[in-house]
Amino acid sequence: MSGLSISRRGLLAGISAVGASAALSACGAKTGDSTSTGSGAKADTSGDTVKVGLLNSLSGTMAISEVTVHNALLLAVKEINAAGGVLGKKLKPISQDGASDWPTFAEKAEALITDEKVVATFGCWTSASRKAVKPVFERYKSLLFYPVQYEGLEESPYIFYIGATTNQQIVPALDYLKKQGLTKLYLVGSDYVFPRTANKIIKAYAKANGMEVVGEDYAPLGSTEFGTITNKVKDAGADAVFNTLNGDSNVAFFKEYKSAGLTAKSLPVLSVSIAEEEVKSIGTQYLEDQLTAWNYYETTPGAANTKFVAAYQAAYGKDKPTSDPMEAAYISVYLWKEMVEKAGSFDVAKVKAASDGIELDAPEGKVTVDGATQHVYKTARIGKVGSDGLITEVWNSGKPIKPDPYLKGYSWASGLS
């Protein structure tokens, strides 16, 4: 060591210090001033434009999914402006990058509300990010429209949940698996709130419905090492894998899954966070014939969807697919517009009061806002990934399902929340 000696301990301390400060700098979170009294957001509606916030991860492990949601939001804003805006005012979209980092989400949410004075915010994907921004929106009494399916067990007065709650996605998916005779499940998920809560619900359902959970594993968000988990799945004697992995980890998981010789035929995977965009970036050859559970697919029939897909592809490219969270994001702006127009005001309290019963002929079919829970009636759809990367429906619930975020209508779910 040529005359210089570094003590290993000093060195490791140094490296971990840099690592720690990297972590700190990555989430230089302002811990919200807990003493501030909820003064309410002072949304600025004085000019002839109003600002709306778009809060998505445009970088990091979640960008694979969230960038498309951001695009769909921009498309809706553009269309609404072209049609004359909301209450005669044009919308000005303000984009903020949550960077796949939950404290950053909280920071940017606050910036949107206090600095930009937006009238409403649209975005977030992971439940971790939603949980991080929830207190911010509640403190400032500002509205967030959340476009992604999630684990339920939540009703914030300042969030509208436009994606599915568990009884509109996970429960129907379990019903479907049960009908197919696939009763031994292996649960694989990312290590944060959505997969863990979803799996708690799945285990309760399994116990009550004669199904068996033969294994359960969580990988850190962004993890790319699935060798062991795949081996465990193989050895557990499962009939199907219930996959709640989020973001890029799916790429590594399905690559490993295929390498291990597991196929949709021998051991199907039902995923709840993989939509058309992810299929494309994971690679169709890894996903063919695997199952998904959503409320919308690009292939869903209907005039509203034909129009949406055409508009999206005209704006972002012929080869760009549309997906459930994108569709939910797109209609969330329209639903908000309907609420504002019914209320005749951008005022949050009035908008909330006007929300119940708002209907829309959405690309996914008819949706209705349930004012009591601030969720949406949605049709559940199970789909299969085709060789072209699109997902075709193999089953649907026939009619929109009433949202039940706390699963009050299911006896087996008592004691979950």
Q: Which residues bind another protein (CB under 8 A)?
A: 1-12, 14-16, 18-19, 22, 58-61, 63-64, 67, 97, 191, 217-220, 222-225, 227-229, 231-232, 234-235, 248-249, 251-252, 255-256, 258-261, 281-283, 285-286
Nearest by Cα to 239 from 211, 268, 259: 268
Instruction: State which residue, 27 or 260, has the beta carbon closest to another protein.
Output: 260
Q: Report the alpha-carbon distance of residue 126 to residue 57 in Å, rounded.
A: 10
SS3 at position 146: strand
The nearest distance, CB 95 to another protein, in angstroms, is 12
Instruction: State which residue, 61 or 149, has the beta carbon closest to another protein.
Output: 61
Instruction: State which residue, 11 or 353, has the beta carbon closest to another protein.
Output: 11
The nearest distance, CB 5 to another protein, in angstroms, is 5
Q: Report the alpha-carbon distance of residue 24 to residue 134 in Å, rounded.
A: 22
Phi, psi of 351 (to 5 degrees): -60, -45
Q: Report the alpha-carbon distance of residue 160 to residue 109 in Å, rounded.
A: 15
The nearest distance, CB 63 to another protein, in angstroms, is 4
What is the DSSP annotation of 327-379? HHHHHHHHHHHHHHHHHTS--HHHHHHH-TT-EEEETTEEEEEETTTTEEEB-
Q: Report the alpha-carbon distance of residue 165 to residue 175 in Å, rounded.
A: 15
The nearest distance, CB 2 to another protein, in angstroms, is 4
Output the CA torsion sign for 16, 22, 23, 28.
positive
By residue count, the chain amounts to 417
For Cα atoms 164, 167, 170, give the angle at the middle one, nearest 5 degrees.
80
The nearest distance, CB 141 to another protein, in angstroms, is 32
Q: Report the alpha-carbon distance of residue 236 to residue 214 in Å, rounded.
A: 6
Instruction: State which residue, 248 or 370, has the beta carbon closest to another protein.
Output: 248
| Residue 56 near residue 67 (C-beta atoms within 8 A) | yes
Instruction: State which residue, 200 or 232, has the beta carbon closest to another protein.
Output: 232
Instruction: State which residue, 84 or 227, has the beta carbon closest to another protein.
Output: 227
Instruction: State which residue, 109 or 252, has the beta carbon closest to another protein.
Output: 252
Please list, in sequence order, all residues whose beta carbon lies within 8 angstroms of the beta carbon of residue 93, skipping any fewer than 6 positions away. 51, 52, 54, 73, 74, 77
The nearest distance, CB 199 to another protein, in angstroms, is 13
Instruction: State which residue, 164 or 187, has the beta carbon closest to another protein.
Output: 187
The nearest distance, CB 241 to another protein, in angstroms, is 16
Inter-axis angle of helices 127-140 and 193-208, nearest 10: 110
The nearest distance, CB 192 to another protein, in angstroms, is 11
The nearest distance, CB 105 to another protein, in angstroms, is 15
Q: Which two tokens stand for residue 221?
A: 């968000």
Instruction: State which residue, 5 or 36, has the beta carbon closest to another protein.
Output: 5
Instruction: State which residue, 196 or 402, has the beta carbon closest to another protein.
Output: 196
The nearest distance, CB 251 to another protein, in angstroms, is 5
The strand order across the sheet containing 365-370 reads 359-362, 365-370, 375-377
Owner of token pair 């300042």: 158
